Structure 1
Amino acid sequence: MNASDHSKYRTGPFSKFDAADIRALIEAYPLAWVLVPGSDGMAASQLPLIGEYDDEGRLVALIGHLGRANPLAGQLAASGRATILFDGPNGYVSPEHAGRRDWAPTWNHAHVKIAAEVEIDPALTEMSLDVLTDAMERDRADPWHSGEISHRYQGMLQAIIGFRATVTAIEGRFKLGQDERPDTLHAVLASQGNAELVRWMRRFNEGR
């Protein structure tokens, strides 16, 4: 990929998104890769993260926690910065889906890459657990709460540590059929069996 190709990759139709799209992806797919540079190389771990948003709905920070024994904890404390990757819906799209033999297969997907400055602090631990539990349990008929394991909750807290990742930059790529002819797009939407991928394709092709 030459420099001009790279520029097109970052500025083409698949790079057009807004704050609501970022929020929707993070809320639907909260398990993210957190990557932290260190003297021994890059440490990485998958962690569930919950977004904090400003009054205009823009992502400003991510709240999470991890085990103190996780090597990432030490590197987060030492580095103070991380790259965070959220993977959204994805799926193979065949010429059969498109209803065209003169059309090449492709893979539709959505992902977000975030640069962040990270504060890791025991004072954030209980809050990080609360916001994650609230987000994951709120739509259940009988939401679970930490008081139900009060006999061992404090012991569990000692084994983990919370953090806040303040967002410094966001990149995204939402390749969801925006460049397809309307007839091809409609054929894919009608035949693609991945319902979640179809939902996101419709989101990014509203009115087409």
Structure 2
Amino acid sequence: MKQMYPPPHHQSDKISKMISVIKQFPLGMLVTAKEEKPFITHIPFLYNESTQKLVAHIDRNNPQSETLQDNAEVLVVFKGPDSYISPSVYTTPQLPTWNYIIVHLTGIIKLIHEPEAAKQTMVAMTEFLEGETQKFILKKDDLRMDRLINYIQAFEIEITNWEGKFKLSQDKNTPDFEYAKQELIKKSRKDISGFINEIYK
């Protein structure tokens, strides 16, 4: 008998949880296609609470910008924490697996051409990324903005489909489910300074 894929217990339709993923991990993957050629760019996204739309910017020199047309359908992927889960953490015999939190959003794009509106999206994006202890304030009248605005394309995405992929060992018993959660938390907090230093060499 053929099983459903993805398994229903790994899927979430709770939009509030997916919004939390977007806010905690705003660097999304913008996926588009042109003449069957795929394009992917990693850019930060802002979820606008009032309009319930995603807002972002892309470099006009990026070849993917040519695929961004009004009313075109796009896919955005947000990746939360993920980790290998060793069978050694469980209380029952299990096989190795990989747990993860992913959000897929499909939507319709609308380009923002008006310079002042585009600047405002950049101001809002910066304020969001700076967080509660905002140490830098981007102002619309900053002269550097006038030079930059011609090199970026701002846009918003009206979300038409939400898909939460939360693979968290939901099929295990309660103790094992909890152990898998603690393992994901532990792996998410691990020190990666050595890795980063190596990459920077």
TM-score, normalised by the number of residues in structure 2: 0.81
- 8 A contact 1:38–1:79 mirrored in 2: no
Indicate how the Cα distance of structure 1 residues 183 and 146 shifts in structure 2: closer, same or farther if over 3 A, else same. Answer: closer
Say whether 1:131 aligns with 2:127.
Answer: no
Structure 2 residue aligned with 1:25 = 21
Indicate how the Cα distance of structure 1 residues 186 and 81 shifts in structure 2: closer, same or farther if over 3 A, else same. Answer: closer
How many Å apart are 1:161 and its aligned residue?
Answer: 1.6
Unaligned 5+ segments in structure 2 are 191-201
Q: Which deviations, in whole Å up to 9, do the C-alpha atoms of 1:102-127 show, x marking residues without a partner? A: 21111110111111110112224212
Letter in 1 for 2:34: G
Structure 2 residue aligned with 1:159 = 151
How many Å apart are 1:41 and its aligned residue?
Answer: 0.9
- In 1, the alpha carbon distance for the partners of 2:140 and 2:160 equals 37
Indicate how the Cα distance of structure 1 residues 65 and 190 shifts in structure 2: closer, same or farther if over 3 A, else same. Answer: closer
- In 1, the alpha carbon distance for the partners of 2:181 and 2:76 equals 30
Q: Which deviations, in whole Å up to 9, do the C-alpha atoms of 1:137-172 show, x marking residues without a partner? A: 1322x5211249934221112211200011111122
Unaligned 5+ segments in structure 1 are 198-208
Matching residue within 48, 53, 62 for 1:52: 48
Structure 2 residue aligned with 1:194 = 187
- 8 A contact 2:28–2:77 mirrored in 1: yes
- 8 A contact 2:13–2:163 mirrored in 1: no
Q: Which deviations, in whole Å up to 9, do the C-alpha atoms of 1:64-84 show, x marking residues without a partner? A: 001111111111127722111
Matching residue within 49, 60, 78 for 1:68: 60
Letter in 2 for 1:126: K
What is the SS of the residue equivalent to 1:37?
A: strand
Instruction: Identify the range of structure 1 (19-28 vs 175-184) with the bigger mean alpha-carbon deviation.
Output: 175-184
Say whether 1:110 aligns with 2:87.
Answer: no
Matching residue within 174, 178, 183 for 2:175: 183
Counting aligned pairs with the same residue, the percent is 19
Letter in 1 for 2:67: Q
TM-score, normalised by the number of residues in structure 1: 0.79
How many Å apart are 1:183 and its aligned residue?
Answer: 2.3
Structure 2 residue aligned with 1:203 = none
Structure 2 residue aligned with 1:146 = 138
